[in-house]
Amino acid sequence: MPKYSIYSMGTVDLKYIVSDLNGTLALDGDIIEGVAERFQALDKLGFEIFVITGDIHGNAEKLFEHYRCKTHVVDITEKHEKQDIQKFNFINQLGAKNVFALGNGANDALMLESAAVGVLIAGQEGGSTLALQKSNIVINSINDALDLLLNPKRIAGH
Ligand SMILES: [Mg+2]
């Protein structure tokens, strides 16, 4: 399991990357360029990568079929628990203490708070200030966020 030394947390074992889709990995339904090669590099390092989404366009699985990741669709119908709770439950099932979580919306706040490392992406869709308050790191793009894991010295000061 990849190990990181992070100023405010000490040594952290990270095994899972869990990312929101819209506004985090994708803009207007298209995956941001540069994500595919980073997923490949992180997969080689031993990470398991999950994309978690309400899948409002109904195409998440197809979108990522050639990517080194799994998709997990949360239920957005009214009968089910709210998205924020479902995302929170998902990372807790994996083991939140080994999760590097990425998101941009208010429905990511709980997940970002309980993950070992929660990263708020304040990209072109903007980032929720509610989620920002629950995060460990704020950064402006998904590629820069994934590069933190590929360049451990960049994360050391957090
Ligand atoms: Mg989002």
pLDDT tens-place string over residues 72-83: 988 877 777 788
Q: Give me ligand 1 centre to Cα 108, in Å.
A: 7
CA–centroid distance, 4 to ligand 1, in Å, is 26
Position 56 scores a pLDDT of: 78
Q: What is the pLDDT of residue 69?
A: 93
Give the CATH number, domain containing residue 142. Answer: 3.40.50.1000
Nearest to residue 95, comparing CAs of 6, 7, 18? 18
Q: Which domain holds residue 54?
A: 3-154
Residue 64 burial by Cβ neighbours in a 10 Å radius (0-12, 13-18, 19+): buried
Claim: this prediction has a pTM higher than 0.85: yes
- Could you tell me the distance, in angstroms and rounded to a whole number, from the CA of residue 11 to the centre of ligand 1? 29
Mean pLDDT in order along the chain per 10 residues (158 residues): 94 98 92 96 97 86 90 82 91 98 96 98 96 98 98 96
132-135 contacts at long range (C-beta below 8 A, 24 or more positions apart): 133/109, 134/109, 134/110
Separation of CA 48 and ligand 1 centre (Å): 20
Q: What is the total count of domains within the chain?
A: 1
Whole-number Å distance between alpha carbons of 59 and 82: 21
The answer to whether the CB of 50 falls within 8 A of the CB of 69 is: yes
pLDDT tens string 94-119: 999 999 999 999 999 999 999 999 99
**Rg of the chain (C-alpha set):** 14
CB 77 within 8 A of CB 97: no
Query: What is the reported pLDDT for 59?
Result: 84
